[in-house]
Amino acid sequence: MRFSSAIVAAAIGICATSISAFTPSRGAVARSSIAITTQQSTPLTQLNQYASATAGAINLADEYAQRDVYSMEEFATQYGLQKAPGVELYSDDGSDYQLITQQPIGAGQTCLYVPSDVVISSEKAYQEFGNEIQQAEQVLVQIDQGTAARLPLFRLMVKILAEYDQGENSAFFPWLNSLPRVYYNGVSMTNDCFSCLPPYAGWLASTEKANYDSFVTALRQGYVQLQSVNDDTVTQWAYNVALTRFQEVWSPQRAKLIAPMADMLNHSAEPNCEITFDDMGNCEVTAMYDIQPGTPLTISYGDPTNPTPIFAQFGFLPADCATLFCKAMHLEPYIKELGIEFKDLLIQTESGEIAPKVWDLFLYEILVNNDPGAAEQYYVAVKCNDEATKQQYQDQYFQYTLDSMKQHVYSILSDVDTMNAKAQNYDLSTHPRVPVIVAHNNLVRDTFTMTAALLEQMG
């Protein structure tokens, strides 16, 4: 996974798009039947040969320590990793890595196969740590009931910490030593960072940080024996590794899994690969359509129409984002009432055009506060997709809705300018996430500036 290059691209304002903001994304090509060669793997205990070449420890003190990705590749290959001809690791700066293909790959062809022996699984971790992790999870849910839905992530974090503690004796040392040391996502931000983000981004980023804090509090009760649990640098790194590299499956049971080498695929709004796991936990990366030589292998990290959650989780802005959330967090109660999803409350980044459901939301808020009877009728029209009734209300209350929308847009623009000025006064040595924060805010500012111009043209 690549972070720094995405931040640089975002920081100079790049946000190109090749898809229409409000049209369905391309469907996946059906996979063909592919034979996988079964290899006799070596037990996952004899890996010190890789550790000895790298001083036998994971260096987290230096955030920019060299990542040894090629020893990771050798390790995974020894234990059954298979790649399509031409698939290789690539870096243009020696820091960020991705997978590309130097030969054509046909639709449905397997690009990468990672056997379950080297896949890190939340379910395996749960079985490995038994009663210890069960007790820790009970404490975690008592701290925050919302974490019950994130227990698979908690289990991955525990497993990563346990392997980190073993150093060169860890079966997964080559993989651990191939990982980034520095992250730019919400977990890595400070309260100063959160104060420089618009409400939606700030909420997502700070929520992730709060979840991390709950995980650490539960682990520090001591039920799971972890040597490094009191080291904030290590625990935050382990959480970020789990958060940014997992894939989720729902069969045969819900689990989060990390497949070394497959976790090197980058994000794209129009991915050319998909990652699947069979019931045995073996990982397969498959081409969704024909891939030409020199092309990066990509997957989707999240909804391409709403890049802010990707920003909060992974710490970068997708270079191909086409839309942004409308930032109307103050209307969240009405969003829930109407049953609208955040991914439908969008503004196009190339034109500033506002999605129809944003207009629905702002009008509904006006009606609730001024005409409850009309609000009830409009609510029914929205829920039933009664476009004729909706249009009647929109025509009748257009000027009020327009004024409310203008007030919101200009408020966001003012806030973003204030936040950027504040962020740019921070020392980058103590606030290294400032560039990606400013890049996010610049995207919001540029988009909302176009939206303001469109609204002014309406009256």
pLDDT on residue 429: 87
Sheet holding 247-249, edge to edge: 120-121, 255-258, 247-249
Q: Which long-range contacts (CB under 8 A, 24 or more apart) does 390-398 make?
A: 390/360, 393/363, 393/367, 394/359, 394/363, 397/363, 397/366, 397/367
pLDDT on residue 318: 84
Does residue 433 lie within any of the structural domains?
yes
Examine the domain organization and report whether 314 and 327 are in the same domain: no
Examine the domain organization and report whether 358 and 312 are in the same domain: no
What are the two backbone dihedrals, phi and then psi, of residue 31, each rounded to the nearest 5 degrees? -80, 145
Does residue 7 lie within any of the structural domains?
no
pLDDT greater than 90 at residue 131: yes
Examine the domain organization and report whether 154 and 91 are in the same domain: yes
Examine the domain organization and report whether 226 and 196 are in the same domain: yes
Whole-angstrom Cα distance, residue 148 to residue 113? Answer: 32
Average the pLDDT over 13-35 and give the result.
32
**Residue 304 structural domain:** 29-318
Q: What is the DSSP letter of 329?
A: G
CATH number, domain with residue 107: 3.90.1410.10
pLDDT on residue 292: 97
pLDDT on residue 49: 57
Last residue of a domain, one of 318, 348, 364: 318
- Bridge-based pairing of strands 266-267 and 298-299 is parallel
Q: What is the DSSP letter of 116?
A: G
Does residue 205 lie within any of the structural domains?
yes
pLDDT on residue 273: 98
pLDDT in tens, 378-435: 999 999 999 999 999 999 999 999 999 999 999 999 999 999 999 999 999 889 999 9
pLDDT in tens, 251-286: 889 999 999 999 999 999 899 999 999 999 999 999
Whole-angstrom Cα distance, residue 131 to residue 126? Answer: 9
Q: What is the pTM of this model?
A: 0.85
Cα–Cα distance list, 140 to 130, 131, 236, 290 (Å): 16, 14, 17, 45
Does residue 12 lie within any of the structural domains?
no
% of the chain at pLDDT higher than 90: 80
When pLDDT is cut at 50, 70 and 90, the band that residue 3 belongs to is very low
pLDDT greater than 70 at residue 29: no
Examine the domain organization and report whether 410 and 305 are in the same domain: no
Average the pLDDT over 224-230 and give the result.
96
pLDDT in tens, 104-129: 999 999 999 999 999 999 999 999 99
Last residue of a domain, one of 318, 344, 379: 318
What is the number of domains present in the chain?
A: 2
pLDDT greater than 80 at residue 28: no
Average the pLDDT over 39-64 and give the result.
59
